[in-house]
Amino acid sequence: MAPDDETVFLELKQLRRGRGIASDNVARRFGPALTGLCGVGPADDSTTTRAKVAARITAALECLPHDMRVVAAIGLGLDPRARHRFLEHRLNWLADETGFSIRTTFRRLDEALRLLSEQLVASGSESLAEPHDSTDRWYLASLDVFLRLDTETPETFEERTIVAAVDGLTELETSISVPPHSAADDKSRQLETEVVWGARLTAQEKVSSSYFGLVISLPKPLRVGEEHTFASRTRIPTGQLMAPRYVAIPFVRNEFFRIRIRFNPAALPRRIWRVDAAPPQVVYDQQPSEDLLAPNDFGEVGAEFENLRRGFGYGIAWDDPNAAE
């Protein structure tokens, strides 16, 4: 029998306690409804269980409004900006960020978790590897990113080819996270974004100190299965440090992702590594993989990925040149 919304909501409330999904004993706090919806099997160890639940919840969060998505992610301990030991401390941080009272913030968290429980139940227990979810209005046939780190400030050039999953698609919502450079860096992030061809940026909302929601308008309505390509440029303002990684965590179907990075050849990181289907916590903790990348004479590295799993991280990370040895 499929779980009901109320059961899932109560299990999410249990999960948000302490460090949330980052808690050491989190596997023992997953209820049967959540584990069933997230495809957790009896043979899965605690690491696999945590990764499956985190990925499923992260994918479901994308279907929520931006503000509810942020509240739920912070409440459940999925947001790297608020890794406090206790839920109250995370919500105090969020209240300071948004200007809401702590009482209102707790109430908004309950509202967000109810919406999340409804989305989890509605989407059922189908695999994250399925071609697309019934809630998708579009998906990515390809994402091609070129990141320059040899310039005054980091900037990316991104080319996206999307495919409409509904008739009459005229706009799409996406998001960008610009995480702090380090735990001690709590400055509010800024971002300069423009769509240079193929579409138009019609709205950019700063949902929190480092999370931006974008609305992209298309030049004409698309039919189901019709492709469209557009390109954008994103720049981090001068003086704002970038976290040492470029990682995509897809929330919609993504069939191909290519990332190329040009470092300053005179100031190369000690290590550069490929991030392939890493759980978000591994990405945020900056844990190096064994798949090291060697830059060419121009300081360039690259990586390609196919059929990305929702809620998992893909891209390139490197040692922070500003960190102490």
Q: What is the mean pLDDT of residues 38-45?
A: 74
What are the residues whose beta carbons fall under 8 Å from the beta carbon of 3, sequence distance 6 or more?
32, 33, 36, 37, 121
Q: Please give the angle made by the CA atoms of 96, 98 and 101, to the nearest 5 degrees.
A: 65
Higher model confidence: residue 265 or residue 210? 265
Query: 211-222 and 169-177: which strand pairing?
Result: antiparallel
pLDDT value, residue 44: 72
Q: Which of 82, 85, 111, 74 is nearest to 19 (CA)?
A: 85
How many whole angstroms separate alpha carbon 115 and alpha carbon 83?
A: 23
pLDDT value, residue 243: 85
Q: What is the mean pLDDT of residues 140-146?
A: 95
| Confidence band, pLDDT 50/70/90 cuts, at residue 26 | low
Asked if residue 9 has pLDDT above 60, the reply is yes
Tokens of 270: 């000690």
pLDDT value, residue 147: 96
pLDDT value, residue 134: 42
How many whole angstroms separate alpha carbon 246 and alpha carbon 231?
A: 18
Asked if residue 173 has pLDDT above 90, the reply is no
Query: What is the per-residue pLDDT across 49-68, written as a single tens digit (0 to 9) for each?
Result: 777 888 888 878 877 777 88
How many whole angstroms separate alpha carbon 149 and alpha carbon 157?
A: 12
Asked if residue 228 has pLDDT above 80, the reply is yes
Asked if residue 244 has pLDDT above 80, the reply is yes
Q: Which amino acid is at 113?
A: L
Higher model confidence: residue 78 or residue 132? 78
Query: What is the per-residue pLDDT across 150-167, written as a single tens digit (0 to 9) for each?
Result: 998 899 999 999 999 889
Backbone angles phi, psi at 137, to 5 degrees: -95, -15
pLDDT value, residue 229: 96
Exposure b/e, 50-89, CB count within 10 A at least 16 = b: bbbbbbbbbbbbbbbebbbbbbbbbbbbbbbbbbbeebee
Can you list the domains of the chain with their CATH numbers?
Answer: 5-123 (no CATH), 138-318 (2.60.40)
> What predicted TM-score, i.e. pTM, was given to this entire model?
0.61
Q: How far is CA 231 from the centre of its chain?
A: 20
Q: Which amino acid is at 60?
A: A
Asked if residue 182 has pLDDT above 60, the reply is no
| Confidence band, pLDDT 50/70/90 cuts, at residue 241 | confident
Chain mean pLDDT for the chain: 83
